[in-house]
Structure 1
Amino acid sequence: MDFRHLGRSGLVVSRLAYGNWLTRSSSRSEETETACVRAALDAGITTFDTADVYADTRAEESLGRALKGERREGLEILTKVFAPTGPGRNDMGLSRKHIRESIDGSLRRLGTDHVDLYQAHRFDPSTPLEETMEAFADLVHAGKAHYIGVSEWTADQIRRGHALARELRIPFVSNQPQYSALWRVPEAEVMPVCEELGMSQIVWSPLAQGVLTGKYLPGGQWPAGSRATDSNDGSSVLAGWLNDEVLGRVRRLGPVADGLGLTVAQLSLAWVLQHRNVATAVVGASRPEQITDNAEAADVRLDEETMAAIDAALAPVANRDPAATADSSPADPGWRLG
């Protein structure tokens, strides 16, 4: 497993991070979750990403139990705050109240006294940014979070947050956007600003929710047991990708991967990791062997000819529109996806 510094900070993360995004009614068992975490550790993955909202807080609990007994100093545990975690009016957003209460809940569920990176899951236009960043500063100074990051913020929001973090002298080191060879939205605006400010990307959905594994073929017959056939495990997230035009283009990656002795999934992950502003890519799994296979991509380096072949295969269906950065409104259900 390869490793990289997160932004200009001293924090080192594994090139692949294990993510345990679970839906509210996920069919994944506790036994499977533990097996996937063990496979990640065995593959050299030390970075683990979750969020308080995943599975209505159960994902943090599951991850905490799976990591119990591991040397805490050898792990990087990342979680997020913003989305609703209760029925009250103050149970969501980035107010001082919600941030301070949420971190304590996350630490309790994860079984630790600190997280290595605490991330704003979305931007909150209903709370003054100064209040949000001051609340994050309080957590850093209290030792509950070592570093601060964000997820799906626009370039302007990142620039404003970074300026305040600099005034408050707290480490604002990362953004977590959706990014893959099919979803290239951050490239035009977000990544250049982050590079300028010394921040890295921790990307989610680097395999486009499994589409870039090549297992979904044109024609609409999905593999049994896949996410596309499981309404409890995020099949709605896949809807935009599961059409013959996209899937036909993804099939063109097969010969490219075969020529390098890689799977399509490994090729797609290596493509993401090739971007110099990407510190780590978050991968999930429904089976531990998926983690083992995907981990091999962390050390792959693709030459210019291969990168050009991937771009040519997917260019007509890849989204590059910077305006497609996730809507930051709390009313938007999109926060559930990252």
Structure 2
Amino acid sequence: MQYNKLGQSGLKVSEISLGSYLTFGERVNESDSVRTIHKAFDLGINSFDTANVYQQGEAERILAKALKSFARDDYVIATKAFWATSKGPNSRGLSRKHLVEQVHQSLKRMKLDYVDIFYCHSYDYETPVEETLRTLDDLIKQGKILYVGVSNWNSEQLQEAIQISDKFLFNRIIVNQCEYSLLKPDIEDTIIPDSEKLGLSQIVFSPLAQGILTGKYNKQIPELSRATNPNINKFFTSLFTKESLRKAQQLENLAGEFDLSLTELALSWVLRKNNIASALMGASSPKQVEENVKRLNKQLTSEMLTEITKIYNS
């Protein structure tokens, strides 16, 4: 397992991170979740991601409970806040009130003294960025969070945050979490080059395009898969199109020509850029974690990259 630094900090994360969106406490029961988390740790994964709203806090509780088996300095745990936790007018967003309350509630659920990375789970158009960053800087000084990240912020918003942090000498954000895959390469246009200039790294989610880049949808739709679930998540819905399936089949054919699986091709493509510190993946079993880790460190030639570009531009 390779470990990469986040931004201009000294924090290192494994190139594969284990997420908990729609898995621990929902599709996966607690005992299986614990086994999956332990397998990830045993394989060298030190970066674990969750959020206060994942399974109404259950994902946080299960993840932290499983990690209690290991030394605290051996893993990096990240959580987030922004989305509504109740119907109250202050139950969402990045205000001082909501952030402070959610950090405290997350720490209580996870029985932790601090979290390593705390993400702003979205951009808040109703709260001044200075208020948000000042609050997070205070939480760092109090020792309740160590580093700050953001999720799904665009280049202008990232630049604004860095400028405000530098003006008031706040601790800078070090990481942006966004979607990135062969079927959604949008961040290459501005987010990645601008982040490099600002000193930010990316931890990207959906590197396998919600399972589409595993090839399992190329021939037929498996029973009990996300495609047959009426409550499928918004990320899958936006990606599961005839066009995406056509490209996934072409990419699988290309991977076969170079003796790679589609998953190996997709992961290697995502991790080829230095600005991508880690690919965030979900897993519902220890076997799935093991399979994903085995598919790392495949080098893509210039010929392969050229052919890939032709496919996703077609």
TM-score between the two structures when normalised by the length of structure 1: 0.88
Conserved? CA contact 2:25–2:59, under 8 Å: no
Conserved? CA contact 1:250–1:314, under 8 Å: no
1:299 aligned partner = 297
Alpha carbons of structure 1 residues 266 and 109: separation in structure 2 relative to 1, 3 Å: farther
CA distance in 2, matches of 1:6, 1:238: 27
Give the structure, 1 or 2, with the largest relative contact order (CA under 8 Å, sep 6 or more): 1
Conserved? CA contact 2:175–2:202, under 8 Å: yes
Aligned residue type for 2:253: P
1:326 aligned partner = none
1:222 aligned partner = 221
CA distance in 2, matches of 1:190, 1:175: 9
- Deviating beyond 6 angstroms after TM superposition, the runs of 4 or more aligned structure 1 residues are none
CA distance in 2, matches of 1:224, 1:241: 19
1:21 aligned partner = 21
Q: What are the ranges of 5 or more consecutive residues in structure 1 without an aligned counterpart? A: 317-338
Alpha-carbon shift at residue 262 of structure 1 (Å) = 3.1
Aligned to 2:235, which of 233, 237, 258?
237
2:268 aligned partner = 270
Alpha carbons of structure 1 residues 30 and 236: separation in structure 2 relative to 1, 3 Å: same
CA distance in 2, matches of 1:40, 1:262: 23
CA distance in 1, matches of 2:113, 2:63: 15
Q: What are the ranges of 5 or more consecutive residues in structure 2 without an aligned counterpart? A: none
1:97 aligned partner = 97
Aligned residue type for 1:204: F
CA distance in 2, matches of 1:260, 1:96: 52
Conserved? CA contact 2:180–2:186, under 8 Å: yes
1:106 aligned partner = 106
CA distance in 2, matches of 1:112, 1:96: 21
Conserved? CA contact 1:32–1:287, under 8 Å: yes
Q: Deviations over 1:277-313 (max 9, x none)?
A: 1000100012221111111233222221112222222
CA distance in 1, matches of 2:279, 2:298: 14
1:157 and 2:196 are equivalent in the alignment: no
For 1:298, what is the secondary structure of its paired residue? coil
1:251 aligned partner = 249
Conserved? CA contact 1:2–1:298, under 8 Å: no
1:209 and 2:207 are equivalent in the alignment: no
CA distance in 2, matches of 1:236, 1:17: 21
CA distance in 1, matches of 2:163, 2:241: 42
1:59 and 2:59 are equivalent in the alignment: yes
CA distance in 2, matches of 1:25, 1:42: 21
1:198 and 2:199 are equivalent in the alignment: yes
Alpha-carbon shift at residue 235 of structure 1 (Å) = 5.0
1:42 and 2:42 are equivalent in the alignment: yes
2:143 aligned partner = 143
Aligned residue type for 2:204: V
CA distance in 1, matches of 2:141, 2:276: 27
CA distance in 2, matches of 1:188, 1:313: 17
For 2:247, what is the secondary structure of its paired residue? helix
1:32 and 2:32 are equivalent in the alignment: yes
Alpha-carbon shift at residue 236 of structure 1 (Å) = 5.0
Alpha-carbon shift at residue 185 of structure 1 (Å) = 1.4
Conserved? CA contact 2:117–2:146, under 8 Å: yes
Alpha-carbon shift at residue 88 of structure 1 (Å) = 1.6
1:324 aligned partner = none
CA distance in 1, matches of 2:201, 2:108: 28
* Aligned pairs, number: 313
| Identity value in percent | 39
The within-5 A match list for 1:52-91 is: 52-91=52-91
CA distance in 2, matches of 1:94, 1:130: 10
Aligned residue type for 1:247: L
1:186 aligned partner = 187
Alpha-carbon shift at residue 254 of structure 1 (Å) = 2.1
Aligned residue type for 2:272: Q
Alpha-carbon shift at residue 77 of structure 1 (Å) = 0.6
CA distance in 2, matches of 1:25, 1:72: 22
Aligned residue type for 1:237: F
Aligned residue type for 1:258: G
